[in-house]
Amino acid sequence: DFGKLEIRLFMRNEGQIIPQNLYTKWFDYDKIKKSLQLRNRRLGDYLIVDEKGSRKSLKQYMIDEKIPREFRDQILVLADEDHIVWIPGYRISQSYKIEDQTKKILEVKLTGVI
């Protein structure tokens, strides 16, 4: 059960530290193509897993992470169409990570996570 999703947009400050938190993530706002959706997985979902742009299907990622099949449809994902931005509790897509040239940061926080 997820409590609520809090979203905040702000400008990056010089030398700002990116927090490492399981249920609060920062994304490069300008890299978001469409609009974000918090939803369950769908056929065709994928994420970028490294700096080289290697693409992995969400299904394969869940298999590799040994997420039990019966729980996979219950996990909520933050998606930009079929590109998975964040699997809360697991990882974010390499494509949306903060870089030196990032100007606007989107903070997404999941509260009340059990």
Q: How far is CA 65 from each of CA 28, 48, 101, rounded to the nearest angstrom?
A: 25, 15, 31
Q: What is the pLDDT of residue 66?
A: 96
Per DSSP, helices labelled H in the chain are: 58-64, 69-72
Across the chain, mean pLDDT equals 89
| Residue 1 pLDDT level (bands cut at 50, 70, 90) | very low
> Average pLDDT of 78-98?
94
Q: What is the pLDDT of residue 95?
A: 96
| pLDDT exceeds 60 at position 113 | no
| pLDDT exceeds 90 at position 114 | no
